[in-house]
A and B are shown apart, each in its own frame.
Chain A
Amino acid sequence: MSIEVRNLTKRYGDLAVCNNLSLEVADGELVALLGPSGSGKTTLLRIIAGLDVPDAGSVLFHGEDATRTPVRDRNVGFVFQHYALFGHMTVAANIAFGLRVRPRATRPSERAIAAKVAELLELVQLDGLADRHPHQLSGGQRQRVALARALAVEPKLLLLDEPFGALDARVRKELRRWLRRLHDEMHVTSVFVTHDQDEAMEVADRVVVLHQGRIEQQGAPHELCDHPATPFVRQFLGDADLPPTPRRVARFVAG
């Protein structure tokens, strides 16, 4: 599903966290919103999800205005930085939650739900942990459960808020490669927020650099690094460590 954000403004008191922001995300794209804290990236993501309401501007899904669509009708998957798993439920019940709360007419049978849960557990490589509770899992495992839970409702759009921010460096690296592979397989339109330039560069098709509620520059990772448009982008990306290019080139050729 394509997303379009038009002239979005959100203020907290006198501070404009998003200042007349416009952004387009193509169907199947994986976009990173990159910026320092306070740059408005999380607010933008929450507005796209419907968790926050903008003061002005609009959000379009597939060309249709969704600014006033309630969160629960948007069919988005959201992954929180601190996982936000339901602590009193097992891993399986967490993943099944989005299916179980559906109205009876559209709710799958328990057997279908169990099959879906098993499939997702395999996808996130957590088979065998279905009956554990979140507190029995490591951070990386929890975040994968959170991802499986978000994917269970087959969202048209996947939003991730600093998904690896709370993990240690090694798990972080592993998980972001894994997210990239997952996206290559599933092609669900995804937007993720990060303040880590390496993460944005390594995972995303396109990186959007935000600063003080405005977009400083956007483009493919190498474009940004080679031609930073503003001093802020140059400085912010200054110590970015780019991955080798062949994989991306190969993907362009294949596409």
Chain B
Amino acid sequence: MAAIAQALDGLAGRDAGPAARPLAPARQAAAGGEPAWVRRTLVGLALAFLALFLFVPLAVVFVQAFAKGLDVYRAALGESDALAALRLTLLAAGISVPLNLVFGVAAAWAIAKFDFRGKSVLLALVDLPFSVSPVIAGLVYMLVFGLQGWCGAWLRDHDVRVVFAVPGIVLATVFVTVPFIARELIPLMQAQGQEQEEAARVLGASGWQILWRVTLPNVKWALLYGVILCNARAMGEFGAVSVVSGHIRGRTDTLPLHIEILYNDYQFAAAFAVASLLAALALVTLVLKLIVERRANASPVPESGHEH
């Protein structure tokens, strides 16, 4: 933007000749480096975009949810299938978030603090769920664990249900949420380096003591931030879960799937009522994220060793 403004000033100066030049610095000073109309247009565009694509839909969700009155809203949320979906969503998030917490910390630790063969492969694998469509992730689990899949016969013989059951939903959720915590930690841990860990090691701390007393306290805000994002995604995931769920109402429907079913049944008010739950979760997530960011910025920067 600054470059554009400079270019504009430059053009003005060249085209209009010496007479126009004294104007340029004055205009720049008044606009703080950018011509006012550029700033106003850009801010206006951004706000209009956000309003149109983010705020209006969110508002519509709540308006529609209460369109048929509070009773319909309550009935939609109190219905047994909706409660079952809520329970399943909480269960899937409750399993996948702690799993990813452990995996994320382990992966970030390995990648940031050690050099080993295949490090870049591990890093790429962590990012895989970001680059693969969730539907494909779901299909892969179908291929492996489905009745016609590689392990299908064995699983059927041992009476284990993975797809069209809770384990499949948890697996799919874990898959799509793998990167959130690891990705949050890796850059921070890389920036912090290993000096504090080395200092702890020389002082006689064991690996566990170093992890609990030095490494984790240094990344606690990033960790919390990752957990919040991971949880939001775990509860909101649709594509991958949709493929492996089988849509058995009251048994393998999560909240997003339940919303789709209600919508397809023309139960718009009920669909939006349940959707308002997820939307509320998103708002809570946003607020938590803001709080964590504030705290993280307010707390002292851990000794990274690069200041004087």
* Given pairs A51-B202, A72-B205, 8 additional interface contacts (CB within 8 A): A78-B199, A78-B202, A82-B306, A84-B303, A86-B196, A97-B205, A135-B303, A167-B308
B22 at the interface (CB under 8 A from A): no
Chain A residues near B209 (CB, 8 Å)? 101
Which residues of chain A have C-beta atoms less than 8 A from B195's C-beta? 80, 82, 84
- State the CA gap A50–B200 with chains docked (Å): 13
Q: How far is the CB of A178 from chain B (nearest CB, A)?
A: 19
Q: With an 8 A cutoff between CB atoms, is A153 at the interface? A: yes
Chain B residues whose C-beta falls within 8 Å of the C-beta of A36 in the assembled complex: none
Closest chain-B Cβ to A191's Cβ sits at a distance in Å of: 14
Instruction: Give Cα A98–Cα B205 distance, bound, in whole angstroms.
Output: 7
Which residues of the partner chain A approach B32 to less than 8 Å between Cβ atoms? none
Query: Is B17 an interface residue, CB under 8 A from the partner?
Result: no
Asked if A149 lies at the interface with its beta carbon under 8 angstroms from chain B, I say yes
CB-based contact A80/B301 at 8 Å? no
Q: Collect the chain A residues with CB atoms within 8 Å of residue B303's CB.
A: 82-87, 134-135
Nearest Cβ on chain A to B174's Cβ, whole angstroms: 30
Question: Do residues B196 and A84 form an inter-chain contact, with CB atoms below 8 A?
Answer: yes
Q: Contact string, A137-178, partner B, CB cutoff 8 A, digits 1/0?
A: 001000000100110010000000000001110000000000
Complex Cα gap A168–B209 (Å): 34
Name the contact of A101 in the complex, choosing from B213, B217, B306 (C-beta under 8 A): B213
Q: Top 3 closest A-B pairs, CB basis?
A: A82-B305, A87-B302, A98-B203
Give the complex CA separation of A168 and B202 in angstroms: 27
Query: Contact at B308–A72, with CB atoms within 8 Å?
Result: no
Cβ distance A157 to chain B, nearest Cβ, rounded Å:
11
The yes or no answer to A77 lying at the interface (CB within 8 A) is: yes
Residues 183-206 of chain B, each 1 if its beta carbon lies under 8 Å from chain A, else 0: 000000000000110111111111
How far apart are A148's CB and chain B's nearest CB, in angstroms?
12
Pair A76/B200 contact, Cβ less than 8 Å: no
Specify which chain A residues have a CB less than 8 angstroms from the CB of B199 in the assembled complex.
Answer: 78, 80, 84-86, 146, 149
CB pair A76–B202 under 8 Å, yes or no, is yes
Q: How far is the CB of B216 from chain A (nearest CB, A)?
A: 10
Asked whether A71 and B201 contact (CB < 8 A) given A84-B195, A87-B218, A135-B300, the answer is yes
Q: Which residues of B contact A150 (CB under 8 A)?
A: 202-203
Specify which chain A residues have a CB less than 8 angstroms from the CB of B217 in the assembled complex: 86, 88
Instruction: Tell me which residues from 176 to 235 in chain B have a Cβ below 8 Å from any Cβ of chain A.
Output: 195-196, 198-206, 209, 213-214, 217-218
- Assuming A82-B195, A166-B308, is B300 touching A97 (CB within 8 A)? no
Does A8 sit within 8 A of B, measured CB to CB?
no
**Chain B residue, CB-CB nearest to A85:** B303
**CA separation between A80 and B205, bound complex, in Å?**
17
Pick the most buried of B201, B205, B303: most chain A CB atoms within 10 A of its CB: B303
Evaluate contact between A71 and B202: CB separation under 8 angstroms.
Answer: yes
Contacts of A72 in B (CB 8 A): 201-206
Give the distance to chain B from A42, nearest Cβ to Cβ, in Å: 12
A167→B307 CA distance, assembly (Å): 10
The CA-CA distance from A101 to B303 in the complex, in Å, is: 20
Q: Which residues on the B side are within 8 Å of A49 (C-beta)?
A: 202
Nearest CB of chain A from residue B299's CB, rounded to whole Å: 8
Using an 8 Å CB-CB cutoff, how does the interface string of B16-31 with A read, 1 for contact, 0 for none? 0000000000000000
Chain B proximity mask over A66-80: 1 for CB below 8 Å, otherwise 0: 000001111011101
Q: Does A102 contact B (CB under 8 A)?
A: yes
A187 within 8 A of B: no
On whether A87 and B204 interact (CB within 8 A), knowing A51-B198, A80-B198, A101-B213, the answer reads no
Which one of A71, A87, A139 has the highest number of Cβ atoms from chain B below 10 Å of its Cβ? A87
